[in-house]
Chains A and B, each alone.
Chain A
Amino acid sequence: EVQLVESGGGLVQPGGSLRLSCVASGFTFSSYTMTWVRQAPGKGLEWVSFIIGSSRDIYYADSVKGRFTISRDDAKNSLFLQMDSLRAEDTAVYYCARDVDNVTPDYMDVWGKGTTVTVSS
């Protein structure tokens, strides 16, 4: 079964850090572009970052650029999101998702269940 499982969410104070993980199973993880998407409470979906499968090129939303770092460990079938200098507006459910295209990011066909990040004092 193709599956993504996120972990690492929690409560953190403003200015703090958190590292999210996403473990993949059931498919050849190294062949895929992987994406983080977040959803603030009661709000819509917001793309955060992706790392392209073929080139390992990385892109970020302006709202997180310079504060978040995406990475992957293909040997461990894992995707990560290091989140530093966290703000209240980063409070959201963070989803890990698989992109269908290895070269040009397209749409996401597999999603994890998400992990909740709350930034509050």
Chain B
Amino acid sequence: EIVMTQSPATLSVSPGERATLSCRASQSLGSNLAWYQQKPGQAPRLLIYAASTRATGIPARFSGSGFGTEFTLTISSLQSEDFAVYYCQQYKEWPPYTFGQGTKLEIK
């Protein structure tokens, strides 16, 4: 099973600043990685797939990068609606799909 590790667990950033979230895989994924955003009481929402491709309707301030075992989600200028929990998910090997434990992005 591929283990996904996200860091940090919590990230405090001021609106308008840049946020950088990390995700590490226990073995190489190539680019088979997705990022999701989840707000309280809501379902997850797909942000990024194939490590760096934005999903339909996702603003350009969200960007993904990385390959292999190290991946990054960057939000270039934080808006109030961006404060949420972010999960990475690998789909290189299954079963199982595996998710990271999440990074909570909070307002500083």
Whether both chains belong to one complex is answered with: yes
Interface positions of A (Cβ within 8 A of B): 35, 37, 44-47, 50, 59-62, 95, 100, 105-109, 111-114
Q: Which of B34, B43, B94 meets A111, CB within 8 Å?
A: B43
Q: Which residues of B contact A45 (CB under 8 A)?
A: 36, 38, 44, 87, 89, 99, 102
Cα-based distance from A100 to B49 in the complex (angstroms): 10
Interface residues on B, range: 20 to 34
Cα-based distance from A105 to B89 in the complex (angstroms): 12
How would you classify the secondary structure of chain B's contact residues: helix, strand, loop or mixed? loop
Cα-based distance from A45 to B43 in the complex (angstroms): 10
Interface positions of B (Cβ within 8 A of A): 32, 34, 36, 38, 42-46, 49, 55-56, 87, 89, 91, 94-102
Q: Is the CB of A47 within 8 A of B98?
A: yes
Cα-based distance from A77 to B38 in the complex (angstroms): 26
Cα-based distance from A33 to B90 in the complex (angstroms): 16
Q: Is the CB of A112 within 8 A of B43?
A: yes
Q: Is the CB of B46 within 8 A of A109?
A: yes
Q: Is the CB of B43 within 8 A of A47?
A: no
